[in-house]
């Protein structure tokens, strides 16, 4: 679940595990304590941090951007690859040094690492005072109190119901134009390389009414873009069990295509994105709904992981190369202007040179606009760790990754070059980093375009024509503007 381009490198870096400090300045009924919240990993973690900030501000905490003035430091963490965890450990060690000078400092870990390592982080690694898994955030005020009274505090219970649907997130992102809405939690897929089903628990969907209400409130506050988040949004289901039994006959059943339609109808000026789609579950219905509404952005992140059917089988992805290509053909047929991005893993267990070549050929066949590319990192307790040997030498993994990245660089460049002379509508997000006389925004396909400022301000839509393209950036000229 991620995006690309200039502005989005911020998010891209966070996917790689870099830290972003987030803060909320005001709290209700303040208790005088300052919270410093640091988030690593995917968009879902950033969305969760907004829920954590909301729960703690309701309990009197104010948040700070300055970790040295904090009374409580919480790190919301990612376990997806080993190096993501290592970065968090290094940071926690630094905070432990600070605790020597300020013994009352509470250091806590949230998110996937908390869930995966549980008490080890307290007892063996001695890096934190508090451990809270992704479904335990309502318990944080109590857990912090426990630490303050001299105990160590842990809650790593996973829930089958928790969706935090009633909690109104404190928006921590910059800009006030684009926000995340979490529509479901957990994952039931059990891809063999992936730790997420163990750290985030069973899949559950959130009440569509609360999702639509959140989108409406965001629009009323001036937001113009929402990203609907889930590990596998295509399996969103409300009021129906996995076996197909209706739960409450007096209520409608809602699937992802229907949910998208409900959110699209909030307002035509509210753009909707979503992440992440799963090739095995993405229906033509979803694509037809996207095609029907202009405000459903023409951009799909469809992780393939590998271009070889045998590798996909070992990965337990639930589709073949042919199935995946059929989904790509459906996207291109139903929405010829839709951009497609992907995730790829190089050097999965047993991957031969031929299988690796299949990944390269699939990439070219699809012509991805963008890709997130990784080499395989074995994760404890996953199916792959139990069943297969992590037998591809690190140098081979890295070499294959470099080859994959080189193919993608060509594809991304070709995609950008094709935009020269094209017209598109961008949603202005802010002032360009390089010049106050320019603003940037994204088009429906999620490509960042820089244009002269004119009178444009964040939240405006602008029709532009693309006049220049470098590898990473597109520039355009204004055709006409509309007030948002
Ligand atoms: N090693 C490398 N990459 C991984 N991903 C998930 N688990 C692993 C792993 N063990 C990648 C997948 C997924 C993305 C979020 O991270 O490509 O789609
Ligand atoms: Fe992990 Fe697969 Fe679930 Fe994505 S769909 S979170 S890769 S198990």
Q: Which domains does the chain have, with CATH numbers?
A: 10-155 (3.40.50.12160), 178-417 (3.80.30.20), 423-482 (2.40.50.140)
Q: Which stretches of 203-257 are assigned E, i.e. beta strand?
A: 204-205, 225-229, 237-238, 254-255
Secondary structure (3-state) at 450: strand
- What mean pLDDT is predicted for residues 396-425? 96
DSSP secondary structure, 253-272, as one string: -EEHHHHHHHHHTT-TTSEE
Evaluate: CB of 197 within 6 angstroms of ligand 2.
yes
Residue among 267, 243, 363, 350 nearest 306 (CA): 363
What pLDDT does residue 22 have? 39
Task: Give the pLDDT confidence of 180-224 residue by residue, as tens digits.
Answer: 999 999 999 999 999 999 999 999 999 999 999 999 999 999 999
User: Ligand 2: which of 43, 197, 236, 277 to mutate, most ligand atoms within 8 Å of CB?
Assistant: 197
Is residue 78 within 8 Å of 49, Cβ to Cβ?
no
Secondary structure (3-state) at 405: helix
Is residue 140 within 8 Å of 107, Cβ to Cβ?
no
What pLDDT does residue 107 have? 97
What pLDDT does residue 29 have? 64
Residue among 124, 192, 122 nearest 155 (CA): 122
CA–CA separation, 272 and 2 (whole Å): 14
What pLDDT does residue 18 have? 34
Task: Give the pLDDT confidence of 339-360 residue by residue, as tens digits.
Answer: 999 999 999 999 999 999 999 9
What pLDDT does residue 32 have? 86
Return the ligand 2 atom nearest residue 195 CA.
1
Give 122 Cα–ligand 1 centroid separation in angstroms. Answer: 27
Query: Given CA atoms 291, 408, 82, 39 in this order, what sign does their dihedral have?
Result: negative
Q: What is the chain's mean pLDDT, rounded? A: 91
What pLDDT does residue 209 have? 97
Determine what percent of the chain is predicted with pLDDT higher than 90.
Answer: 86
Task: Give the pLDDT confidence of 135-169 residue by residue, as tens digits.
Answer: 999 999 999 999 999 999 999 999 999 999 999 99
Evaluate: CB of 277 within 6 angstroms of ligand 1.
no
Evaluate: CB of 170 within 6 angstroms of ligand 2.
no
CA–CA separation, 437 and 275 (whole Å): 33
Q: Exposed e or buried b for every residue in 25-40, given b needs 16+ CB within 10 A?
A: eebeeeeebbbbbbbb
User: Ligand 2: which of 191, 193, 303, 312 to mutate, most ligand atoms within 8 Å of CB?
Assistant: 191
Nearest CA, atom 5, ligand 2: 189
Evaluate: CB of 235 within 6 angstroms of ligand 2.
no
Give 193 Cα–ligand 1 centroid separation in angstroms. Answer: 7
Q: Report whether pLDDT(2) > 50.
A: no
DSSP state of 241: -
Point out the least confidently predicted range of 23-37, 41-55, 242-256.
Answer: 23-37
CA–CA separation, 12 and 25 (whole Å): 26
Phi, psi of 412 (to 5 degrees): -65, -40
Task: Give the pLDDT confidence of 80-117 residue by residue, as tens digits.
Answer: 999 999 999 999 999 999 998 999 999 999 999 999 99
Evaluate: CB of 211 within 6 angstroms of ligand 2.
no
Secondary structure (3-state) at 36: strand
3-state helix, strand, coil in the chain (%, to 5): 35, 25, 40
Task: Give the pLDDT confidence of 264-317 residue by residue, as tens digits.
Answer: 999 999 999 999 999 999 999 999 999 999 999 999 999 999 999 999 999 999
Beta strands 254-255; 237-238: pairing state: antiparallel
Q: Report whether pLDDT(243) > 90.
A: no
């Amino acid at each position: 679940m991620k995006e690309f381009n200039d502005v989005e490198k911020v998010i891209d870096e966070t996917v790689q595990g870099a830290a972003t400090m987030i803060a909320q300045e005001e709290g209700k009924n303040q208790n005088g304590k300052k919270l410093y919240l640091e988030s690593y990993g995917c968009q879902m973690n950033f969305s969760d941090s907004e829920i954590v900030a909301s729960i703690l501000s309701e309990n009197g905490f104010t948040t700070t951007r300055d970790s040295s003035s904090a009374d409580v430091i919480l790190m919301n963490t990612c376990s997806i690859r080993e190096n993501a965890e290592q970065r968090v450990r290094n940071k926690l060690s630094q905070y432990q040094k600070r605790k020597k000078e300020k013994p009352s400092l509470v250091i806590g870990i949230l998110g996937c690492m908390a869930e995966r390592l549980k008490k080890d982080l307290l007892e063996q690694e001695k890096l934190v005072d508090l451990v809270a898994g992704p479904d335990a955030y309502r318990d944080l005020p109590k857990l912090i109190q426990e630490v303050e009274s001299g105990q160590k505090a842990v809650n790593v219970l996973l829930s089958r119901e928790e969706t935090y649907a009633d909690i109104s997130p404190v928006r921590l992102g910059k800009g006030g134009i684009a926000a995340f809405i979490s529509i479901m939690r957990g994952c039931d897929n059990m891809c063999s390389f992936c730790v997420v089903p163990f750290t985030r628990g069973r899949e559950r969907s959130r009440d569509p009414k609360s999702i639509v209400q959140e989108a409406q409130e965001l629009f009323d506050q001036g937001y113009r873009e929402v990203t609907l988040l889930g590990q596998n949004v295509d399996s969103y289901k409300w009021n129906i069990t996995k076996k197909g039994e209706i739960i409450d006959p007096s209520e409608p059943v809602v699937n992802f295509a229907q949910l998208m339609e409900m959110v699209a109808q909030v307002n035509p000026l509210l753009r909707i994105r979503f992440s992440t789609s799963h090739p095995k579950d993405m229906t033509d219905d979803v694509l037809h709904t996207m095609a029907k509404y202009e405000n459903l952005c023409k951009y799909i992140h469809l992780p393939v992981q590998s271009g070889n059917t045998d590798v996909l089988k070992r990965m337990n992805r639930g589709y073949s190369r042919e199935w995946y290509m059929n989904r790509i053909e459906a996207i291109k047929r139903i929405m010829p202007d839709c951009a497609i991005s992907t995730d790829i893993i190089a050097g999965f267990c047993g991957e031969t040179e031929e299988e690796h070549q299949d990944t390269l050929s699939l990439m070219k066949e699809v012509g991805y606009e963008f890709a997130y590319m990784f080499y395989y990192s074995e994760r404890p307790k996953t199916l792959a760790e139990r069943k297969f040997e992590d037998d591809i030498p690190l140098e081979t993994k890295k070499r294959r990754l470099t080859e994959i990245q080189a193919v993608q660089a060509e594809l991304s460049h070709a995609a950008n070059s094709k935009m020269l002379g094209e017209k598109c509508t961008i949603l202005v997000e802010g002032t360009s980093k390089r010049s106050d006389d320019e603003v940037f925004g994204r088009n429906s396909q999620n490509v960042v375009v820089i244009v002269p400022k004119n009178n444009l301000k964040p939240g405006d839509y602008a029709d532009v024509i693309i006049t220049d393209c470098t590898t990473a950036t597109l520039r355009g000229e204004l055709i006409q503007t509309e007030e948002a």
